[in-house]
Structure 1
Amino acid sequence: MSLDRIGYVYTFGMGEAEIEAALETTDTGVLALASSGSAYAVPVGCYYEDGSLYVRLTDDGASRKLSYLEATAEACLLLYAVGPSDGSWSVVALGPIRELTGTDREAFDEATMIERFGKPRIFDEDLEAIEWSVYELEIEELTGRKTGGETLP
């Protein structure tokens, strides 16, 4: 297959200010976890503030993601957007992830969680059985790519 015949789009590294803007304006990402050579990725609500990246997770007592989370040494969070005319960007954050507890967790009451992460997406869970938790991904590596010619986000 020849790329000359099917076409392609050049991508370029994003600068720190562009990455920061993407993190500050995006409230949904994909959290990738791993356990014993098996991967698991799940869409999550996310929030960025002052160099910290947070994700909101729910558990109804049968959460596959939480079992993967416990086994993951380094998590990966992908944020991305695709705009008109093939414009796009993506940011990948890598690092350890930990559940917030105590006063750190208390900073995320119900109203604050809705404000920062948006409305939760509920599937077949029993609403009364859902437990809410907030995790912080300690950013050790952060990279961003964008398509050429456009200022994003």
Structure 2
Amino acid sequence: MDTDIAFAYTEGIPDDVVRDRLESTVGGVLALADGDDAYAFPVFHHFEDGSLYFRLGEAADSEKSAYLDATETATYVVTETESTPDAEAWTGWSVVARGPIAAVPDGDPAYEAVEINERYAPIRIFDEPTDEMDVTLYELEIEELTGRQN
């Protein structure tokens, strides 16, 4: 191995700081799986009472919906890096949350439009017409939560 490769030692982040990072950031990457196949996408989140909530736009028979249905344990990653001219002086942190993910029932008060619009940035869509988009709120019940920083 080349001994000139730069490494940065990391350390664990205290639990209260991990929760603060989830509360103060708005987005990350949600990773889902179906057997040996993975599917990950950027998404906005809301952290409350030990759970992560995601407002997702889904078109009928979408790949995202299929992976949401198949996933037993989802992983959500939030990260931030600050680069400097000296690569060895870069700083950053990451938070990884893992647990089951499920749709929040339709009658739940969390679906109130005013609350949803205050908690999340607008849903990003591509070529899908908005009238063909179902908006579903999902909860990732955190079973594992870790953070690292350098």
Q: Structures share a fold, TM > 0.5?
A: yes
1:96 matched to which residue of 2?
A: 100
> 1:127 corresponds to which residue?
130
Superposition TM-score, scaled by structure 2 size: 0.89
Distance 2:24 2:111 in 1: 19
- Aligned-pair identity (%): 43
C-alpha distance in 1 between matches for 2:106 and 2:5: 54
Distance 1:15 1:69 in 2: 30
Residue 144 (structure 1) aligned with residue 143 (structure 2)? no
Q: TM-score of the superposition, structure 1-length normalised?
A: 0.87
Q: How does 1:1-80 map to 2 (within 5 A)?
A: 1-2=1-2, 4-80=3-79
Instruction: Determine if contact 1:80/1:90 at 8 Å carries over to the other structure.
Output: yes
Which position in structure 2 is the counterpart of 1:150?
none
SS at match of 1:88: strand
Q: Distance in 1 between matches of 2:123 and 2:75?
A: 21
Q: Shift of residue 127 of structure 1?
A: 1.4
Give distance in 1, aligned partners of 2:19 and 2:132: 36
When residues 61 and 43 of structure 1 are mapped into structure 2, their CA distance, relative to the original with a 3 A threshold, is same
Give 1:84 deviation, angstroms. 4.4
Give the number of the structure whose residues are more often helix, by fraction: 1
